[in-house]
Chains A and B, each alone.
Chain A
């Protein structure tokens, strides 16, 4: 140990600089969110579509916490989206019309179910995990589908009323309030997710993804870990579902269909896992393409989505965002 007296203000060590750079907001991030806000001011912009993009992006980001950071694949993530969507729907139908508290309650409900799911499946991994999550999703879908007296079945839940945001901003027919409400909510939840993954807990998630056995020998309770990340991912998926209900004032069993679970996985993989932004970028591409292709050939658009998925996985193995990052780093390096 050195006994030399050190200056009171020290230059950051390489380690401190590294973690500071990990936590720092990059220009790409600032531009990304500024652009989402700027879209609102474009005259004649298709705000309902862009609102959908935000909701899908948030939904895919929640799956990223599970899959990208913790390494838990799920084929049933729409179950949590649907729970949030129906919870928000029932609240609005039975008199709890204030949107922000409704969003939080719906998110909490989905998070609780997610926590329970984590408790049940923390010993399962790999293919079995895909089957269990898919199974849970199908069971829930069937229950909602059959209990039509209570859920409205295929017709969906009618008569949902959502009060103006903060008592001031009514949900208008042009989707202006809906877009800003979805943007503010998605951004707030993104901030939470971002802080989580930059914390020691975020590192522990990556560690458990890489090597669960080593995490056990470092003293980490793996079951606590799995149920925690499941609860957080489910709560965020539930918030996305609640946003869909509140901004459309309608909810149907499609919110928790297997198709939705598959779509969100496709969106995340196209965008890239383990980056938080992958889900949003994937959602932008997926929904804009779907909109465009649906006009060209309303029946066969999944053909093109399938083709896109194959191309992305073949040429950008890790998805668009990680590949773009590598490209930027190379350009800077040269």
Chain B
């Protein structure tokens, strides 16, 4: 990779503006994500964090401004086109295939990634590469023994892991995690982030997180959103001591 490509942000937004009717969620948002970094977004509720993720993944269209991925404009691209380009996400509230088992769920993601999700008469049984990759991925998340259980019968923490595994099955360049540790105990949260740190070594990760302990532990850089604006973007240490941040978010 040339220096120029390495210096190019994976994700960039230019003057991004988002409003629902008269309600302005964010304005003039200029955001850049470095290749390979683990970047946390923090901020109070209603700061526009989840909306930002949905605009990046194409589930919502911005009112104005541009979204660039690897330097190419994707502002009007469909969510599916962005997935194919290498952007994957997870949801704040688990969004799984409840009646299917984790193995079948991951196979769906892998088949789609490999372009084998269309009409076909070839049974999954005859495509062991898909099955084996799905099994291996589940094993990495500690879900090997749960691979064949019905998803909705799994404990919440395991469903949370499956939520992340589904996104990682796409082998994204950019992974967006919306509060991955939501609903997990402190110990489970750390466990999830430790696993993520190993599994996403080659991936740029952008995550929304409320638990400051996790943020300061695992993020390379932190962006603070408040009232529809990017207040500060810096390393965890600088963010922690930034007076504006202490005021608007940490409440000190």
A interface vs B, CB < 8 Å?
A: 13-16, 18-20, 22-23, 192, 195-196, 198-201, 203-204, 206-207, 210-211, 213-221, 224, 228, 232
Look across to chain A and name the residue whose beta carbon is closest to the beta carbon of B78: A221
- Decide yes or no whether B165 CB sits under 8 A from chain A: no
On whether A16 and B97 interact (CB within 8 A), knowing A199-B121, A200-B108, A217-B89, the answer reads no
Interchain nearest-CB distance for A93 vs B (Å): 33
Interchain nearest-CB distance for B27 vs A (Å): 26
Interchain nearest-CB distance for B85 vs A (Å): 10
State which of B98, B111, B132 has its C-beta within 8 Å of the C-beta of A203: B111
- Decide yes or no whether B124 CB sits under 8 A from chain A: yes
State which of A15, A199, A220 has its C-beta within 8 Å of the C-beta of B132: A15
A210 touches B125 (CB 8 A): no
On whether A22 and B83 interact (CB within 8 A), knowing A14-B147, A15-B103, A214-B97, the answer reads no
Look across to chain B and name the residue whose beta carbon is closest to the beta carbon of A207: B108
Q: Which 6 A-B pairs have the closest CB atoms?
A: A219-B83, A200-B111, A195-B121, A23-B125, A198-B123, A15-B135
Interchain nearest-CB distance for A317 vs B (Å): 14
- Decide yes or no whether B25 CB sits under 8 A from chain A: no
A207 touches B100 (CB 8 A): yes
Look across to chain A and name the residue whose beta carbon is closest to the beta carbon of B97: A210
B interface vs A, CB < 8 Å?
A: 57, 59, 78-80, 83-84, 88-89, 91, 95-100, 103-105, 107-109, 111-113, 116-128, 130-132, 134-135, 147-148, 166-167, 170
Q: Which residues of B contact A18 (CB under 8 A)?
A: 103, 148
Question: Which of A13, A14, A216, A217 counts the most B-chain CB atoms under 10 A from its CB?
Answer: A217
A199 touches B124 (CB 8 A): yes
- Given pairs A15-B103, A18-B148, A211-B98, 14 additional interface contacts (CB within 8 A): A15-B132, A15-B134, A16-B132, A20-B125, A22-B123, A22-B125, A200-B116, A203-B100, A207-B105, A207-B108, A210-B98, A214-B96, A216-B80, A218-B112
Main secondary structure of the interface of A (DSSP, over half): helix
Determine the distance from Cα of A20 to Cα of B107 in the docked complex, in whole angstroms. 14
B121 touches A192 (CB 8 A): yes
A-B contact pairs, 14 of them (CB 8 A): A20-B125, A22-B125, A200-B108, A201-B118, A203-B111, A206-B97, A207-B108, A210-B98, A211-B98, A214-B91, A216-B79, A218-B112, A220-B112, A228-B119
Determine the distance from Cα of A210 to Cα of B78 in the docked complex, in whole angstroms. 21
Interchain nearest-CB distance for B126 vs A (Å): 8
Look across to chain A and name the residue whose beta carbon is closest to the beta carbon of B147: A15
Interchain nearest-CB distance for A191 vs B (Å): 9
Look across to chain A and name the residue whose beta carbon is closest to the beta carbon of B111: A200
Q: Which residues of A contact B84 (CB under 8 A)?
A: 219
Determine the distance from Cα of A210 to Cα of B166 in the docked complex, in whole angstroms. 15
A203 touches B104 (CB 8 A): yes
State which of B89, B109, B120, B135 has its C-beta within 8 Å of the C-beta of A199: B120
State which of A22, A196, A204, A214 has its C-beta within 8 Å of the C-beta of B95: A214
